[in-house]
Structure 1
Amino acid sequence: MGAVDAGADLWFGVLQAATLVLALVLLYRPLGDAMARIYTGAKDLRVERGIYRLIGVDAAAEQTWRAYARSVLAFSVVGVLLVYALQRLQQFLPLSLGLPAVPEGLAFNTAVSFVTNTNWQSYSPEQTMGHFVQLAGLAVQNFTSAAVGIAVAIALVRGFARRGSTTIGNFWVDLIRGLVRLLLPLAVVLAIALLAGGVVQNLTGFTDAHTVAGSVQSVPGGPVASQEAIKLLGTNGGGFYNANSAHPFENPTPWTNLLEILALLAIPFALPRTFGRIISDHRQGYAIAAVMGTIFLASVVALSALEVGGGGTATQLAGAAMEGKEQRFGILGSALFGTASTLTSTGAVNAMHDSFTPLGGMMPMINMMLGEVAPGGVGSGLYGMLILAVIAVFVGGLLVGRTPEYLGKRLGPREIKLASLYILVTPTLVLAGTALSFAIPGIRADVEKTSILNPGPHGLSEVLYAFTSAANNNGSAFAGLTANTPWLNTALGVAMLLGRFIPIVLVLALAGSLAQQQHVPETAGTLPTHRPQFVGLLVAVSVIVTALTYFPVLTLGPLAEGLVR
C-alpha cells in the first residue's frame, strides 16, 4: 500500500469513525427513551397478552430476585436442550441440505454457546448446519439470549430505582417485551437494509461457483440477512458462514460494514439513557455513557495505531499489515469492527484477529478482559459497568473516609461482596481454563498437537484468547486454534455457562438487596457520581482491575511475541 493509498485509507477510516459517533449520538436519546418506555409501561400489547396466556404467566405478578433468577435459569436450560436436540436430529429435519447430525460434543458446545449469547463456533457453519437448524435453533437463540441480557440489566436498574421493595419485576414480561417491542422490529428494519446492501436471503442449497484459479467451490445460499441482523443487534456474533462478517454474502461493502458496526453498538450505547430515565436522573446515564465512550475511543485508537504501524519486518516490507483483512474494508475499517466486536459481546469479525500484529492482536483480548463494558453486550454491558460503578464508589468512599453510597443506596458488606464476586468470576474461569490446558499432561499433549497451529507465545495467546472469549461470552477467536476437540468443546462450554449465569445470579441478588433499601439522602460527604471526576475514577477502576488480574499472563503471550519482533 503506497503513501497515497495509506493516506486515503486513513481519511476514510476517520470519516467512518466520525460517522459512527454521530449516528450513536443521534440514536442515544430516542432509542434509550423508547427502551425505558418498553420496560416501564403499564399496558401490554394484545400479542403479548396472548403469549402470557399461552405460557401461563400472570403479567401483573412481580418476582423476588430469587424467582427472577430461577426463571432465567429454567428458560436457558430449556433453550440448551432444544438447540442440542435440533442439532442431533438434523438429518431428519427439513432444509437440512443433506448434512448429517452434529456430533455430541460439538452440539453441546454450540447449544451452550448460542443460549449464553456467546456464539462461539468450533465448526464451519455452512458445512455443518442446515437452514432449519440455523433458523429454528441458532437465530431464535440470538433473539432470546439478547432479550435475557437486557431483562437482567433492567432488573438491576429497578433495584437502584425502587425503595423498600421485595420484587424487581417479572422476567417473563421483560423477556417478551424485549422480543416483541424492541428486537423483532429493529431486526426487520436492519434485515431489509442489509438486503438492499447485497446480503443474501433465500432458502437455496449449494451452488457451484468457478473461482479465479479455475477450481469449483460449492457455496450455499440461505437466510443470511435475517440472521445477520439479529446477530448484530443482539451482540451475538455467530456467522452464517465460516468467514463471518468478512464474507461478501454477509458484509458486501464498506457501507454495510459501517451499518453493521452501528447495529452492534446502538442498543448497548443507548442503555445508559434508559438507566438514567428509569432512575429519574439523566446525569447518571450521561456519566456511564461517557465512561463507555472514553474506553471505546482509547481502544480503537490504540488498535488502529498498532495495525497501521505494522508489527514486524514482513508487514513493513509488504507495505501494510493487510494479512487476514479484506481489501474492501482496509486496516482502519477492520480495526473499528474488531474493537466494536470485542468491547461488546458480539464476537463477529470482518478480519482474522489471529493475523493482527502481535500487539494489535492483544487489544481485542484486552477489550474482552475489561469485562466488555464499553459498551458491552446488550444488557450485560450496562450491568457490568454498574457493578464497576459500585466498586468505584466503594473505593472513593474509602479515600474520603465516608460510608459509600450510590444513587441513594448504601453499599454495605453484602453489596460489596456480591460486586467483588462478580468481578472475580470471569478472570478465574479464564486463567483456570488456560492453566489446565497446559498443566494436565494428557490435555497439554492434545492441545499442542491438535489445537495449536503456531507454537510458542502465539500458541499460548490462541488458548488464552479462546478462554477469554468463552468466559466473557464474546465468541470471537484466534482462528489458528482448532477448538473442535473433546477437551476444548467441554472446557469452553463450561466456561460459557459459568461465565454467563453466575454473574447473572450475582447481579440479580444485588438488585434484590438494593430494591429492599430505602433512599439515603445526600449529604456533604456523598460522592457525586455524575461529574467528570467520577467518570475518571470509574475508567481507572475498570482498567486497573484488568491490569492487575491479567498482566502476568499477557506477558507470556502477546507481549512476549510483540516485544521480540
Structure 2
Amino acid sequence: MLQIVLTLILYLLPLIPVGNYVYRIAAGKHTFADPVMDRVDHAIYKLCGVNPERSMDWKRYAGTLVGTNLVMILLGYLILRLQSLLFLNPNGIGSMDPSLSFNTIISFMTNTNLQHYAGETGLSYLSQMLVIIFMMFVSAASGYAACIAFIRGLAGRTSDQVGNFYSDLVRIITRVLLPFSILTGLLLVWQGVPQNFSGNIVVDTVEGARQIIATGPVAALESIKHLGTNGGGFLGANSSTPIENPTILTNLIELWSMMLLPGACVVTFGRMVHDRRTEPGTGSTVPQPVRQSLTARFFGKEGRSIFAAMGILFLIGLAVCFWAESQGNPLLSDLGLSQSMGSMEGKEVRFGTAQSSLFTAVTASFTTGTVNNMHDTLTPLGGMVPLLHMMLNVVFGGKGVGLMNMIMYAILAVFICGLMIGRTPEYLGKKVEGREMKLVALCIIIHPLLILSFTALAVTVPAGLAGITNPGYHGLTQVLYEYASSAANNGSGFEGLADNSFFWNITTGAVMFLGRYLPMVLQLAVAGSLMKKRFVNETTGTLHTDGIGFAVILVFVVYIFAALTFFPVLALGPIAEQLTLWA
C-alpha cells in the first residue's frame, strides 16, 4: 500500500509545471524551447509545404487531421508489406501478410498499439522505427492537437477558429514529446534497457539449452510508447520482460511517463478556460473571486472538478484491483498453498502484487495498453477493473481523449441537472441546447455500440468462435476485452485469443479506426457549436461546474451510464467467473 501511495504522490509533483508548460504551447505563448525549436519547426513547415499561420475552423481542422493520418496509414502499410526487401533487417524477418499489416498500421496510427504479432519476430528494425516509433509520435501528437483545438473551442475566444492542425502537431512533437522522450530514453538506457542495431543474441542457458535474446532500439520505443500513451511493446511480452522493464526504477519511470501528459491536459484545460473567463474583451461576464484556493489556482477551477472526478474513478478502480489481487486464488488456498503474497500468477516477482495492480489500473485508465503482468491471469474482479475503465474511457485517458470524453459526460450531467430544475443547462458560460445534446449523445453511444455489437458478432460467427481458446465465462471476457481495448484505443489484451486471423485483424482494425475518429470529429463539432454562442450571465440558478459537488455528480453519471450499458455483459463474464471461483 505504501508503494502505491508514494508512487501517486510523486506523480503529482511534476503535474502542475508540465501542465502549465503544455498550456503555454497551446496558447502560443513563449517557452524556453522556442529559440531552438522555432528553427526546427520552420524547416518542417518548409519541407512539407504547409502554412502554420492559417487558422482553421473545426471542420477544416478535423478534415486535415483525418486526411493527414490516412496518408501516413498508406505509407506505413507499404513499409510493412515490403519490409523483407528493405534495409535494417539483420534478423531476416519477412514481410507481414495483408490483414495483419492492415491491423498493425491502423492500430499504431490510432494510438491503440494492439499487437497481433510479436515485435521481436514480426518486425524489422526499419519497421520498428519508421512505422512503430514514428506512428507513436504522430498519433499521440494528433490526439493532443485535437484536444487543444477542442479546448480552444470551449474557451470560445473566437467565433469559428480553433487553430492550425499542422502547427499544433509539430509544436507538440518538437516541444513536448521529443525532448521528454530523449530524457526518458536516457534514463532507461542508464537502467539497462538496450538501444542498438545489433542482431539477436544466441546464448547457452544454465540448463544446457540455447536461447535467442532480442535486442535493438528498445529504449527509444519504450520512452515514446509510455509518454504518448501508445503501449505497443518492442517484444511480445511488453513491459513484463526485463529487456523492456528491467528494474523497479524503470517500472516507476514508465508508470509516471504514461500518467504525466494525460493529467497535464486537465491542467491545460483549466488554465485555458480560466484565461477566457478572466481576460477582458472575451464577452464573458462570469465574476471571478479575488482569492482562490490552492487547487483552483494550479488546476483552474473547471480543471479542478474534472481532475477530481477522474481521480475518484481511478482510485476506486485501483482499490478494487489491488484488493482482488491481494486475496489470491481460493482454489489454491483450498489445496493448502500459501496465498500471503496474493495472486502471483502471471506477475513478475520484481514487481509483486502492488506494482502489478497499480500498473494494471494505470495502463487501462490512461489508455496506454502497456503491461507489466499478464492480464489474462488476473483474478476476475481484478481483470474487470481495466475492462471497465476501457469501457468508460474517461478515467484520464490518453493523448487528451479522456479529457474530451469526460467533457461530454460533463455536458450530459448539466443537461440532466437542468431538466431536474426546469432550466436551460449551461456549461462554461454557454447554453447547451438541442444540437449540442444530439452530438453529445451520439458521441457517447458510439463507444458501447462498437464494443457490444462486435462482441456479439464474434461469439456468433464461426470465424470469431475459432479464436476463443477458453469456452467459459473467461472466454467471453477475453472477447469483450479485445473489442473494449480496440474501441478505447488502449491496445492491451487478455492474450488468450488466437487473434492473428483474418476475422480478428479486420474487425478489430475497423473498431480501432471508428473508435478513434468518429468521437473525435463529433467532439470538435460540439466545441465548434458552443464557440459560436454568446456568453450568458451567471445567476443564482446556474449550476456551478467548478467544485467538488459537481465532480461527485459527474462520477455518478458516469457509473450510472456504465451500469445501464455494460452490466449485463459484465455479469455474463467477469462477475459470473468471480462468483463461480468463490462459490
TM-score range, shorter chain: over 0.9
1:9 matched to which residue of 2? none
Corresponding residue to 1:171 among 152, 165, 175? 165
SS state of the match for residue 309, structure 2? helix
2:525 matched to which residue of 1? 509
2:287 matched to which residue of 1? none
1:431 matched to which residue of 2? 452
Contact 1:35 1:274 in 2 (8 A): yes
Corresponding residue to 1:253 among 224, 236, 247? 247
Shift of 1:124: 1.0
Could you list the per-position Cα deviations for residues 193-225 of structure 1 after superposition, in whole angstroms to 9, with x for gaps in the alignment? 111111111111111123343311111211011
2:312 matched to which residue of 1? 294
Partners of 2:487 and 2:9 in 1: how far apart?
32
Corresponding residue to 1:448 among 446, 465, 473? 465
Partners of 2:308 and 2:220 in 1: how far apart?
32
Contact 1:315 1:321 in 2 (8 A): no
Partners of 2:534 and 2:247 in 1: how far apart?
53
Contact 2:225 2:231 in 1 (8 A): yes
Q: 1:164 to 1:91 in 2, by over 3 A?
A: closer
1:537 and 2:531 matched: no
CA RMSD in angstroms comes to 1.3
2:226 matched to which residue of 1? 232
Question: What does 1:343-492 correspond to in 2, within 5 Å?
Answer: 343-371=365-393, 373-440=394-461, 442-443=462-463, 447-449=464-466, 451-492=467-508
Partners of 1:383 and 1:286 in 2: how far apart?
15
Aligned partner letter, 2:56? Q
Contact 1:168 1:515 in 2 (8 A): no
Partners of 1:399 and 1:506 in 2: how far apart?
26
Corresponding residue to 2:60 among 67, 87, 90? 67
Contact 1:311 1:359 in 2 (8 A): no
1:156 and 2:150 matched: yes
Partners of 1:323 and 1:239 in 2: how far apart?
21
Contact 1:16 1:258 in 2 (8 A): no
Corresponding residue to 1:49 among 24, 42, 48? 42
Contact 2:112 2:369 in 1 (8 A): yes
Partners of 1:296 and 1:307 in 2: how far apart?
16
SS state of the match for residue 541, structure 1? helix
2:292 matched to which residue of 1? none
SS state of the match for residue 231, structure 2? coil
Partners of 2:16 and 2:486 in 1: how far apart?
32
Aligned partner letter, 2:242? P
SS state of the match for residue 13, structure 2? helix
Partners of 2:256 and 2:576 in 1: how far apart?
34
Shift of 1:164: 5.0
Partners of 1:516 and 1:53 in 2: how far apart?
33
Could you list the per-position Cα deviations for residues 325-352 of structure 1 after superposition, in whole angstroms to 9, with x for gaps in the alignment? 0000001110000000001110000000
Contact 2:367 2:490 in 1 (8 A): yes
1:3 matched to which residue of 2? none
SS state of the match for residue 217, structure 1? strand
Contact 1:117 1:146 in 2 (8 A): yes
1:310 matched to which residue of 2? 328
Shift of 1:20: 2.2
Aligned partner letter, 2:70? V
Contact 1:164 1:518 in 2 (8 A): no
Aligned partner letter, 2:274? S
Partners of 1:557 and 1:497 in 2: how far apart?
26
Could you list the per-position Cα deviations for residues 364-392 of structure 1 after superposition, in whole angstroms to 9, with x for gaps in the alignment? 10111111x22110211111111111111
Partners of 2:158 and 2:123 in 1: how far apart?
50
1:136 matched to which residue of 2? 130
Partners of 2:364 and 2:376 in 1: how far apart?
14
1:82 and 2:75 matched: yes
Corresponding residue to 2:511 among 478, 495, 498? 495
2:273 matched to which residue of 1? 279
SS state of the match for residue 526, structure 1? coil
Aligned partner letter, 2:565? T
Partners of 1:181 and 1:359 in 2: how far apart?
40
1:35 matched to which residue of 2? 22
Contact 2:317 2:361 in 1 (8 A): yes
2:293 matched to which residue of 1? none
Could you list the per-position Cα deviations for residues 375-432 of structure 1 after superposition, in whole angstroms to 9, with x for gaps in the alignment? 1102111111111111111112112221110111111111111111111111000001
- What TM-score results when the alignment is normalised by the length of structure 2? 0.92
Contact 1:448 1:455 in 2 (8 A): no
Shift of 1:315: 5.9
Question: What does 1:516-535 correspond to in 2, within 5 Å?
Answer: 516-535=532-551
Could you list the per-position Cα deviations for residues 45-98 of structure 1 after superposition, in whole angstroms to 9, with x for gaps in the alignment? 122122222222222211111101111111111121111111101011111220
Instruction: List runs of 5+ in structure 2 lacking aligned partners.
Output: 276-299
Contact 2:430 2:533 in 1 (8 A): yes
Aligned partner letter, 2:474? H
Could you list the per-position Cα deviations for residues 412-454 of structure 1 after superposition, in whole angstroms to 9, with x for gaps in the alignment? 11111111111111100000101011223x33xxx333x2222
Partners of 1:357 and 1:376 in 2: how far apart?
23
User: More deviation in 119-128 or 252-261?
Assistant: 252-261
Partners of 2:431 and 2:41 in 1: how far apart?
37
Q: 1:164 to 1:228 in 2, by over 3 A?
A: closer
Aligned partner letter, 1:50? A
Aligned partner letter, 2:11? L
Contact 2:245 2:251 in 1 (8 A): yes
Partners of 2:504 and 2:124 in 1: how far apart?
24
Partners of 1:314 and 1:275 in 2: how far apart?
48
Aligned partner letter, 2:249? W
Partners of 2:194 and 2:420 in 1: how far apart?
56
Partners of 1:228 and 1:384 in 2: how far apart?
27
Contact 2:119 2:234 in 1 (8 A): yes
Shift of 1:305: 0.1
Shift of 1:163: 4.4
Contact 2:320 2:381 in 1 (8 A): no
Contact 2:274 2:301 in 1 (8 A): no
Q: How many residues align?
A: 546
Contact 2:458 2:465 in 1 (8 A): no
Partners of 2:537 and 2:498 in 1: how far apart?
56
Q: 1:175 to 1:31 in 2, by over 3 A?
A: same
Shift of 1:42: 5.6
1:6 matched to which residue of 2? none
SS state of the match for residue 201, structure 2? strand
1:221 matched to which residue of 2? 215
Aligned partner letter, 1:312? P
1:187 matched to which residue of 2? 181
Contact 1:311 1:358 in 2 (8 A): no
Aligned partner letter, 2:13? L
SS state of the match for residue 202, structure 2? strand
Partners of 1:75 and 1:165 in 2: how far apart?
25
2:358 matched to which residue of 1? 336
- The alignment-based identity, stated in percent, is 44
